Structure 1
Amino acid sequence: METLPLDLLMFAGLCILVLTGAPIAFVLAGTAVIFSLIGWAAGELNFNLIGALPTRLFNTMNAESLIAIPLFVFMGLILERARIAEELLRTMGALFGSLRGGLGVSVTLVGALLAASTGIVGATTVTMGLMALPVMLRYGYGPAFSSGIICAAGTLGQIIPPSTVLIIMGEVLASAYQQAQHQAGNFAARTISVGELFAGSLIPGLLLVGLYIAYQLAAAYIRPGLAPALPREAMVTADGARAGEVSALDVLRVLFPPLALIVAVLGSILGGVATATEGAAVGAVGATLLAGMRTGRNRWALWVAVLGTAVLMAMAGGFDLRLGRPDAPAGDRVVLGIALALAGLVLLAVAAIWRDLGRDRILVPAMQATARTTTMIFTIVIGALFFSLVFRALGGDLRIQALLEAAPGGVHGAMILVMAMMFFLGMFLDYVEITIIAIPVVGPPILGAGVDPIWFGVMVALVMQTSFLTPPVGYTLAYLRSVAPPSVSTQAIWIGAVPFILLQLLAVLTVYFLPGLATWLPAQLF
């Protein structure tokens, strides 16, 4: 391997092929195929190791926590297509618009709510870019300042739970942590859950929201022309209420449904009542019901579906509702008949909701987009698993482990080296590839040195979030460029991101030197 470092050549080949713009899933798998054949021909790779790929794929795809991904994606897309985000933005704009920088604060707050609803960086950035950027430009906000606010708000979907990044990372990090404990001789290894990672990322995510808002208000105060207050005629809610006419009841009416959904989902997960997958199912159903309320038609169907399902669950907990029992007591048969009639009524209500959402072109497009997004994610996962297997078979994990052990400064030096590598990878690869490829390689030696897995996962998520915001190839910048008007130049988008990159780095340093920000809440809850 000294004469032919195939692992390094493989990584270099991946970086070059990514720059061609080819689909990343096929780049990963193609690179793995090419270098597995080269390694086999050169005698550097035992081709029998490739036989482990089906087992690794099956074990990964069989992980229950990954079922949460399509459910959370569906939840976010339903909320997006139901125009709930637009109503939130208009109400927040009417509430804060009289302040200098108030519209930017509204965008950040709505972005945080969307991040907690969708968990997808691209969805939040594109949605806010389409809705908020034209309004900000129309009322005197600078193009760079507006772009920076939207891009920063979009990246919150990376760190604020529930996040698809954290779901995939939680599964991979748990495996790396168990491997580290096995290598240390502890075969009764403790595992970590996606819920713990959600809890660990919550306070750092809220810290970032606070930093963004503080910067925007300070910048607007120092330079009033950068983010002027909105004129009164611009501050109108969806119901026509203007600034000064927006009551607490108006704000509560708009904020309560999505906040209640977020609390129900995150509260059930963080409280240990439900797993991430079960919480995602609650979110998907809740988002569908919220979209049904948004249409304003057949409200009876919503109440029947919700109350009927609750009564059925209570009946199932108190009675044996199994069908086909010849020896069932008469009382159970009566209860079973009532349950069947109630289930039929719930199905009729669900059919009415389905018809309404289909009429408004909400449900079917959301399902189609969910299928496309989920397929893309899992195709990347398959390619990344194949790449990781070949990379490790060529000795790449041993090389990286030796590099980390030789890093000056011990554990802190190794952590800084890993964070720098994650930042660099974030400029070329998506979060799925980084998580599947890098964490299984760097995770065991880092975690084996005594690093807390939750803190490590949160640090990786924060660093990747920073890289997604960094020019010239930050993913969030590219998402905004795809929907920004021609009057907003690419240079303006890049310049606008710089202050928020500095805030991101401040958050990274804060969590690095105060690890309790990431570890305190999981310790209290779990």
Structure 2
Amino acid sequence: MEYLALVMFAVVCMVLLLGYPVALSLAGTALLFAGLGTSLEVFDPAFLGALPSRLYGVINNQTLLAVPLFVFMGSMLERSKIAENLLDAMTMLFGKYRGGLGISVILVGMLLAASTGIVGATVVTMGLLSLPTMLKRGYDVKFSTGIICATGTLGQIIPPSIALVLLGDVLSSAYQKAQLDMGIFSPETVSVGDLFAGAVIPGFILVLLYMAYCIGLAVFKPQLVPSIKVADVISLAQGKTRLQVVFSALIPPLLLMFAVLGSILFGFATPTEAAGVGAMGATMLALWQKQLTLTNLTAVMQNTLKITSMVFLILIGASLFSLVFRGFGGEELIQGFFVQMPGGLVGATLIVMLVIFLLGFILDFIEITFVVVPIVAPILLAMGLDPIWLGIMIAINLQTSFLTPPFGFALFYLRGVADKAIRTADIYRGVIPFIVIQLFLLLILALWPELITWLPDVIYG
């Protein structure tokens, strides 16, 4: 009765499309099929007995403690006017060139991604700050909306990324399971620090590809990305010199980036400890910017509580779903499918990446991480894939889920803050080139996996 596992997966997707809460959809569907399977005597209820230990493992997981701390850091930076100062500084540097404002948005998005790690915060902030300016200066609507959505998703891949924290925890369990299946008993795991190190080079390559696209438009279609008058750029300084503006805007986020990422990459702190450093650093920056008010602090704490509760509730629902899926023999069914597939490991990896990309049209990255990855990752790792390479490839693939219509969250975030005159169709068309760029990056990393594995090997041996 293994086919019931696939039916259960299809039912979950349909329930999610109907708009029901993710965590309750996962848990409710799993319990429904567990009851059905028990009545048909094709499911052993003993599998549900492992749920308490699973939940205790979630609560006791030190890695997942980094989630609320990174969320707090990102929410605090969102309210400390870091993005506004960065955009002014970058516009002064590049605005006078064709496409310069677009490059400024990309660089600011990169710095925000490396500071906050939250896609929604970056998209909303850049949508409020840069979209009116770009349209006022004559930038094409589709390009403007597309580049804001795309740069906002950089928080998905550039560390510190909440997505990489969650993937690190899931892949660590998958890696240990794959080793046990192969009869290997080793304490070695996949750490979040490994994924952070592996994501650095691909993240910068993606930024360079975005900039190359912007420069290409400036060369071949300059009317879409005009320059800004020098007088307008100078007026942004408000009496300060260009050097003063750039220095005061760049130094604070760069120091925070070095404190968080440097402490992880050089082994001074675990990701959880570094997240604590980041949360304190973001609070100090807000105090320095005179934005640490009781109203802002309350809003930041409420946002942190909401996002953290959502993540952990989904994780609990996903744990129950995976237990029932395994109880129906779903893992063995998929493993047999992969083993018999023509092309071996390459064919299996290609199919998994294609499925994740297609699921990104209808599911959120958290849902895919907690539901799909635990099913397919142990099988691919047992077939010989490098876990760090697989993690980064999945992370970049999941990044496209924020941009792909109709349920791309970055599209929703920007639609919520954009002017009513901007058509939703323009936002959808604007992200298409950037989805192609992200898929092109996946191809590059598939051909040259050393771009992912080199830095972790250098740092951690």
Q: Could you state the TM-score of these two structures normalised by the residue count of structure 1? A: 0.85
CA distance in 1, matches of 2:217, 2:340: 44
CA distance in 1, matches of 2:185, 2:387: 17
Q: Give the residue type in structure 2 aligned to 1:267.
A: G
Q: Give the residue type in structure 1 aligned to 2:394.
A: V
2:316 maps to 382
The correspondence for 2:253, drawn from 251, 258, 274, is 258
Instruction: Please state whether the residue corresponding to 1:362 is helix, strand or coil.
Output: helix
1:168 maps to 166
1:277-316 Cα deviation digits (max 9, x unpaired):
0000010111111111111xxxxxxxxxxxxxxxxxxxxx
CA distance in 2, matches of 1:132, 1:406: 51
**Pairwise CA distance, 1:38:** 1.3
Q: Does the aligned pair in 2 maintain the 1:39–1:45 contact within 8 Å?
A: yes
1:316 maps to none
Q: Does the aligned pair in 1 maintain the 2:400–2:438 contact within 8 Å?
A: yes
1:391-415 Cα deviation digits (max 9, x unpaired):
1211211111111112211110011
Q: Give the residue type in structure 2 aligned to 1:292.
A: L
2:289 maps to 294
The 5-angstrom pairing of residues 123-522 of structure 1 reads 123-236=121-234, 239-241=237-239, 245-247=241-243, 249-295=244-290, 357-359=292-294, 361-522=295-456
**Pairwise CA distance, 1:238:** 6.1
Count of matched residue pairs? 460
**Pairwise CA distance, 1:61:** 2.2
- 1:234–1:381: structure 2 CA closer, same or farther, 3 Å change rule? farther
The correspondence for 1:94, drawn from 92, 96, 114, is 92
Q: Give the residue type in structure 2 aligned to 1:293.
A: W
CA distance in 1, matches of 2:419, 2:314: 31
Q: Does the aligned pair in 1 maintain the 2:365–2:401 contact within 8 Å?
A: no
**Pairwise CA distance, 1:241:** 4.6
CA distance in 1, matches of 2:267, 2:87: 32
Query: 2:29 matched to 1:35?
Result: no
CA distance in 1, matches of 2:186, 2:451: 28
Q: Give the residue type in structure 1 aligned to 2:410.
A: T
CA distance in 2, matches of 1:458, 1:198: 9
Q: Give the residue type in structure 2 aligned to 1:277.
A: T
CA distance in 2, matches of 1:53, 1:237: 61
Q: Give the residue type in structure 1 aligned to 2:283.
A: T
**Pairwise CA distance, 1:189:** 4.1
CA distance in 1, matches of 2:234, 2:266: 38
CA distance in 2, matches of 1:138, 1:27: 44
Q: Give the residue type in structure 2 aligned to 1:234.
A: D
Q: Which runs of 4+ in 1 moved over 3 A?
A: 236-239
**Pairwise CA distance, 1:234:** 3.1
Instruction: Please state whether the residue corresponding to 2:242 is helix, strand or coil.
Output: coil
Q: Give the residue type in structure 1 aligned to 2:226.
A: P
Moved more, 388-397 or 199-208: 388-397
1:323 maps to none
1:16 maps to 14
1:458-477 Cα deviation digits (max 9, x unpaired):
00011111232222322222
Instruction: Please state whether the residue corresponding to 2:292 is helix, strand or coil.
Output: helix
CA distance in 1, matches of 2:384, 2:51: 30
1:453-504 Cα deviation digits (max 9, x unpaired):
0000000011111232222322222222222211211111111111111111
CA distance in 2, matches of 1:52, 1:22: 26
**Pairwise CA distance, 1:236:** 5.0
Q: Give the residue type in structure 1 aligned to 2:292.
A: L
CA distance in 1, matches of 2:85, 2:29: 46
1:40-96 Cα deviation digits (max 9, x unpaired):
112121112111111111112211011111111111111110111111111111211
CA distance in 2, matches of 1:286, 1:467: 30
Q: Does the aligned pair in 2 maintain the 1:116–1:262 contact within 8 Å?
A: yes
Q: Does the aligned pair in 1 maintain the 2:145–2:431 contact within 8 Å?
A: yes
- 1:455–1:107: structure 2 CA closer, same or farther, 3 Å change rule? same
- Report the RMSD for the aligned CA atoms in angstroms: 1.5
CA distance in 2, matches of 1:428, 1:46: 31
Q: Give the residue type in structure 1 aligned to 2:115.
A: S
- 1:246–1:393: structure 2 CA closer, same or farther, 3 Å change rule? same
Query: 2:113 matched to 1:112?
Result: no
CA distance in 1, matches of 2:205, 2:457: 19
- 1:503–1:466: structure 2 CA closer, same or farther, 3 Å change rule? same
CA distance in 1, matches of 2:321, 2:409: 22
CA distance in 2, matches of 1:220, 1:241: 30
Instruction: Please state whether the residue corresponding to 2:300 is helix, strand or coil.
Output: helix
CA distance in 2, matches of 1:70, 1:238: 35
CA distance in 2, matches of 1:367, 1:113: 23
CA distance in 2, matches of 1:189, 1:418: 27
1:5-45 Cα deviation digits (max 9, x unpaired):
21121111111111111221221122112111111112121
CA distance in 2, matches of 1:365, 1:478: 21
1:346 maps to none
Q: Does the aligned pair in 1 maintain the 2:6–2:330 contact within 8 Å?
A: yes
